[in-house]
Amino acid sequence: MVKVSRVEEKSIAEELGIQPGTELLTVNGRPVADFLDWEFLTADEELVIEARQPDGEDVIYELERLDGEPLGISLQPPSVRRCANKCEFCFIEGLPPGLRKPLYIRDDDYRLSFAYGNFATLSNVKERDIERILEYRLSPLYVSVHATNHEARKILLNNQRVPDIKAQLSRLTEGGIQFHAQMVIVPGLNDEEVLEESLTDLWNMGDAVLSAAVVPVGLTQFSHLYTGKGMDRDTARTILIQVERWGERANRERGQTWVFGSDELYMLAERELPGAEHYGEFAQIENGVGSVTSLRMRVSQGLGRVVRRDGQRIGVVTGLAMAPVMEPLLEHLREASGADFKLIVAQNSLFGPTITTAGLLVGKDINEDGIFLDDYTLEAVRESLPMPIFPSYDFIDVLESESSGVLA
């Protein structure tokens, strides 16, 4: 059963008398268990919907609609499937105490993988779920493979009952499902031969594997489960050599890089990041793969649109990892705008100094010297500081706007 949260004005749903709070029970005789069922079962043109109104009365709606005409119904958010693993490197286990509750939810949900690109391990996927994935053609999925070697994966996920990912993926790929894969690398556990085996297995799945990302383990000062080695510069370099060798092969044989080291892996290895051509369509940019290169690209393409700001002083706050990348970008922005940019490197006060990415900086890092967010709202941060604050995606979005002309 799913519940209606909102009904759009003048929509089919409003005409039928469907109200917020209505429970949607079946569509064309098939039970509706969640938003996926709803979305796929209502793709037909002729629908018979069994529902229960908020007052408890059961109703049957029969309707016919033109192809693609929306029903005008929003559903209440789905309950998230919890994770069955207990990875030592779990970032959620590495969160400090006292944050808001939803941040501690360890989700592992193939439905959200399809709908929003969240990575899922498929550890909690049952036969019925596989059948749904195949029937509804939930593709592409985003899969945390970590290792295709079954024994290594059991250790990595700290779950003796984890299904064999190779068998799961083979079944899905035979049914036409494609996926993006990621491997979070724990030195000594799934690098070297284990990584080689994973990349070989994924490569052998052919077109079904759209991309593979190799990401270094990220630990905070609260990662209490972790007993493995940390990721140092030399390990990161060795992993990158292996990844790039596969990338070269993929370019030769398939005309695309296919496997990517994450930006963080390049930074840990103290290696220059590749250019835009390396990343093709930036398939895993949300996973920190190519985001720095994409930022450089957007800045360079947007410089011509920057408004002159001679004499203004602009502080740019970032985490430790991005500091070396930022300076050359700010130099271009100085030239294009005439403003005086000052880079403010904030150490992460919540997660500890090992967390160096700007995206995880928090509100308490914002004082006279620095900026960013945790449970602080942007408004609270603005109120606590004497200067105007502009969140920015790529600098250009703020600097091209005349309305942000009072930056200093």
Closest approach of Cβ 376 to ligand SF4, in Å? 25
Q: Output the smallest distance, CB 121 to ligand SF4, in A.
A: 5
φ/ψ of residue 104, rounded to 5: -90, 0
Pick the closest to residue 222 from 371, 124, 104 (CA basis): 104
Exposed/middle/buried for residue 78 (C-beta within 10 Å: 0-12, 13-18, 19+)? middle
Radius of gyration (C-alpha) of the chain in whole angstroms? 24
379 φ/ψ sector (left φ>0, alpha ψ -120 to 50, else beta): alpha
3-class SS at 245?
A: helix
Closest to ligand SF4 by CB, 116 vs 245, is: 116
Residue 34: CB minimum distance to ligand SF4, A: 20
Q: What is the DSSP string of 321-384?
A: GGHHHHHHHHHHHHHHH--EEEEEEPP-TTT-TT---GGG--GGG-SSS----SSS-HHHHHHH
Instruction: Decide whether 41 or 90 has the Cβ nearer to ligand SF4.
Output: 90
Tell me whether residue 85 or residue 168 sits nearer to ligand SF4 (CB atom): 85
The CA-to-CA distance between both ends of the chain, in Å, stands at: 54
Residue 222 or 376: the one with the smaller Cβ distance to ligand SF4 is 222
32/162 with CB nearer ligand SF4: 162
Distance CA 122, CA 97 (A): 28
CB of 178 vs ligand SF4, minimal distance in Å? 21
Minimum gap (Å) between residue 363 Cβ and ligand SF4: 24
For the bound state, the minimum distance from the C-beta of residue 122 to ligand SF4, rounded and expressed in Å, comes to: 10
121 or 284, CB closer to ligand SF4? 121
List residues near ligand SF4 by CB under 6 A.
Answer: 83, 85-87, 90, 92, 106, 108, 121, 157
